[in-house]
């Protein structure tokens, strides 16, 4: 290319050549001062400099925070930590129930508190922040989230030592009360009664405090989800949006998985990690470090919030026109446009059916995961840490793989809106059918000798003289393979400690001494007592060992395999569901549409969901322990009822979601999944506004 030499005249009148200038007149060698660049950008040149700004091929250097990838890194890290806390709290609910002696309905109410916090802020926050500086709003919400999490740790700091002493008093390591014919059996002493009163007073303060803190957590997590996704969608092209949505939603699933794994790790540690209690997690006295994971999560969230403050209002300004400037003279009420925006959402029929579908899709999944560790503990006799580990790896991570896979498929196949809606409906049908199948996967029911659901003091004729009134629930397994509610009910006259958590009860008048039950006999053999058992037992009665007779069950492998496959299929429809939401609304209403969905999910889904499923779990209780003035907590569950209530409710709700998905499918032909290819004046729906009532 031929260059043109520009000459300049020096002060002395001599002309000299300067650097060549390209013929296209781009003036690449000339740089304007900051003042001149500002005048050029605003169109106010005033003839001071006849040149152009740098072309789009040569952007002005920007910081690392002007990068969509960097924002994705910080945003997704915060979303992962948010998801970690929610499932971490789920993973320690059994510990909280044991420590505070509360029912599943109470812990379900605590889990619903986060959603109540979202409901109170979702619409107003998304309206205000959706038109403001979204990254800064997200950063502020991260700090609010961290404050709420730290508040959940305060009960341990204030009452931890006192509450642990109370728990140990009510779960002493000594032998359970045995049968004394003279009627002087002491089931409860004064210290146990006092401990119960102390626990009740602490619980009355801590449970409301946790509810308030989880409300604050709900307020904080609202901004991360509802503002982050529209911000990402505004800063990437419509062709790349499915992949970014898949990465966003898929990595979000990693958070709940890590939350379960962190819960498994912390519950393996003692509540005071500095001490060794002298017994393991299988002992009833064990209390895991339920508070420890919250400290780590809150600390990292605070660090990420600092980085989030540095991101600009808009990374790629050419993708979305700036919102209209506000007039200095406010002649209209500030929230007038807010109500108009709400009206646009409520009159969008596709968005409303998709909202109903979102609520019904979330309720069964959220409800199942809220109590999945407890379900695995009771149904398959897994310890708490193993139940948390299985919940994280067998379900949550598989969901993440399904979401990412579906995003890649949508990116490559570019399906129509009707195809996306059809697959979302299919995933709901498959989930519902899968839950029905899982209702038949279980372990053998515990074989009680006598179980009266009205009272724990179920009397046998062989132990009617033992005066077992007020005996706490202390199950023992007799050598006849029957489980007895207590050594007193089995008519056992004496006890022998074998290790820190195992006791042998002998001279049991209700136990067949000629039977050879697996658990009792194997315990005697392990401690080399079988050959000398007659010397230990004495008399004609049988023996029993502490704990229920039911052992490990391998059926949970089949359960997890089917459960993981069902969750993978269901998760594969989530990316398409989110794309349908943001594509059926006006461009400036994306954040508001997410807020409407979040509001509806909170009011009709997440708030009642843990309470309903918690009540469902409590309804399967067949025996409550109210000995020594304890709160009447559930001591044993009917596994058949637990399966039918818990999984049956999940299947029924998802079938309703399938019906809603079919309604969305019938109207999805009006949605344009690639609005970037259409003229900018068109709405994301076809035909424009009038048909969709936007």
Rounded mean pLDDT of 219-235?
74
Reported confidence tier of residue 213, pLDDT bands at 50, 70, 90? very high
- Number of neighbouring beta carbons within 10 Å of residue 434: 20
Q: What is the pLDDT of residues 502-549, one digit of tens each?
A: 888 888 888 888 888 888 888 888 887 765 444 444 456 788 888 888
Residue 637's beta-bridge partner residues? 621
- Distance from CA of residue 82 to its chain's centroid? 8
Rounded mean pLDDT of 91-118?
83
CB-based contacts of 288, cutoff 8 Å, min separation 6: 92, 95, 266, 267, 268, 269, 270, 271, 281, 384, 385
Contact 581, 594 (CB under 8 A): yes
Quote the mean pLDDT of the chain. 75
Which DSSP symbol is given to 505?
E
Reported confidence tier of residue 337, pLDDT bands at 50, 70, 90? low
Both structure tokens of 214: 């989880």
Span between the terminal Cα atoms of the chain, in Å: 53
With 70 as the cut, is the pLDDT of residue 668 above it?
Answer: yes
Contact 530, 524 (CB under 8 A): yes
Q: What is the pLDDT of residues 344-395, one digit of tens each?
A: 777 777 878 888 888 899 889 888 888 888 888 888 888 777 887 888 777 7
Least reliable range by pLDDT among 426-430, 431-435, 616-620: 616-620
Contact 675, 238 (CB under 8 A): yes
With 50 as the cut, is the pLDDT of residue 10 above it?
Answer: no
Reported confidence tier of residue 76, pLDDT bands at 50, 70, 90? confident
Residues of the chain with CATH 1.20.1250.20: 66-172+188-318+362-444+553-677
Both structure tokens of 150: 């730290």
* CATH number among 1.10.357.10, 1.10.287.1770, 1.20.1250.20, 1.10.760.10, domain 66-172+188-318+362-444+553-677: 1.20.1250.20
- Number of neighbouring beta carbons within 10 Å of residue 425: 21
More confident residue, 236 or 306: 306
What per-residue confidence (pLDDT) applies to 177?
A: 73
Q: What is the pLDDT of residues 137-174, one digit of tens each?
A: 888 889 999 999 999 999 888 888 888 877 776 666 55
Handedness of CA 578, 581, 586, 592 (dihedral sign): negative
At residue 175's C-alpha, the angle toward residues 173 and 177, to 5°, is 130
Q: What is the pLDDT of residues 39-57, one digit of tens each?
A: 444 444 444 434 444 444 4
Burial of 553 (0-12, 13-18, 19+ CB in 10 A): middle
């Amino acid at each position: 290319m031929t260059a043109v030499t520009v000459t300049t005249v020096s002060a002395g009148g001599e002309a000299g050549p300067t650097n060549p200038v390209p013929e296209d007149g781009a003036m690449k060698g000339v740089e304007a001062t900051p003042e001149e660049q500002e005048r050029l950008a605003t169109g106010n040149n005033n003839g001071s400099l006849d040149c152009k700004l740098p072309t789009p091929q040569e952007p002005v250097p920007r910081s690392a925070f002007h990068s969509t990838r960097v924002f994705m890194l910080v945003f997704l890290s915060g979303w992962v930590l948010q998801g970690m806390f929610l499932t971490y709290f789920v993973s320690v609910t059994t510990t909280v129930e044991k420590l505070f002696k509360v029912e599943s309905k109470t812990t379900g109410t605590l889990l619903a508190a986060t959603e109540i916090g979202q409901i109170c802020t979702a619409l107003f926050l998304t309206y205000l922040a959706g038109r403001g500086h979204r990254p800064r709003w997200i950063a502020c919400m991260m700090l609010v989230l961290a404050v709420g999490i730290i508040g959940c740790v305060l009960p341990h700091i204030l009452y931890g030592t006192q509450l642990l002493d109370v728990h140990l008093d009510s779960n002493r390591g000594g032998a359970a009360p045995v049968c004394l014919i003279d009627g002087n059996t002491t089931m409860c002493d004064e210290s146990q009664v006092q401990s119960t009163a102390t626990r009740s007073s602490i619980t009355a303060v801590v449970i409301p405090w946790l509810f308030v803190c989880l409300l604050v957590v709900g307020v904080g997590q609202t901004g991360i989800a509802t503002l982050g996704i529209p911000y990402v969608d505004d800063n990437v092209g419509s062709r790349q949006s499915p992949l970014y949505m898949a990465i966003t939603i898929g990595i979000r699933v990693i958070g709940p998985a890590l939350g379960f794994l962190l819960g498994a790790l912390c519950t393996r540690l003692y509540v005071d990690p500095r001490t060794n209690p002298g017994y393991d997690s299988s002992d009833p006295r064990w209390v895991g470090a339920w508070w420890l994971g919250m400290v780590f999560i809150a600390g990292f969230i605070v660090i990420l919030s600092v980085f989030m403050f540095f991101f600009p209002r808009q990374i790629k300004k050419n993708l979305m026109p700036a919102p209209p400037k506000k007039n200095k003279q406010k002649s209209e009420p500030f929230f007038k446009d807010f109500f108009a925006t709400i009206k646009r959402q409520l009159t969008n029929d596709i968005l409303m059916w998709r909202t109903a579908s979102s609520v019904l899709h979330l309720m069964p999944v959220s409800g199942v995961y809220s109590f999945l560790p407890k379900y695995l503990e009771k149904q398959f006799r897994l310890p708490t840490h193993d139940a948390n580990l299985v919940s994280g790896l067998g379900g949550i991570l598989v969901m993440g793989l399904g979401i990412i896979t579906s995003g890649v498929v949508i990116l490559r196949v570019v399906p129509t809106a009707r195809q996306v809606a059809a697959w979302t409906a299919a995933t709901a049908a498959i989930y519902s059918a899968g839950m029905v199948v899982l209702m038949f996967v279980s372990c053998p029911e515990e074989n009680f000798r006598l179980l009266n659901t009205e009272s724990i003091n179920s009397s046998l004729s062989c132990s009617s003289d033992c005066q077992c009134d007020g005996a706490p629930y202390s199950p023992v397994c007799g050598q006849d393979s029957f489980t007895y509610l207590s050594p007193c009910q089995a008519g056992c006259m004496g006890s022998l400690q074998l290790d820190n958590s195992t006791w042998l009860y002998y001279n049991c008048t209700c136990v067949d001494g000629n039977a050879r039950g697996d658990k009792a006999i194997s315990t005697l053999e392990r401690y080399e007592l079988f050959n000398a058992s007659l010397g230990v037992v004495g008399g004609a009665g049988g023996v029993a060992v502490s704990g229920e007779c039911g052992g490990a069950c391998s059926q949970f492998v089949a359960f997890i395999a089917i459960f993981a496959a069902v969750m993978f299929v269901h998760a594969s429809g989530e990316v398409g569901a989110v794309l349908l939401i943001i594509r059926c609304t006006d461009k400036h209403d994306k954040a508001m549409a997410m807020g409407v969905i979040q509001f509806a999910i909170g009011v009709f889904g997440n708030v009642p969901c843990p309470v309903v499923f918690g009540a469902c779990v409590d309804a399967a209780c067949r025996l409550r322990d109210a000995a020594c003035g304890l709160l009447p907590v559930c001591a044993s569950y009917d596994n058949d009822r637990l399966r039918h209530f818990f999984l049956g409710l999940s299947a029924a709700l998802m079938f309703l979601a399938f019906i809603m998905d079919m309604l969305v499918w019938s109207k999805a032909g009006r949605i344009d999944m690639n609005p970037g290819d259409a003229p900018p004046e068109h709405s994301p729906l076809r035909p424009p506004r009038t048909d969709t009532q936007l």
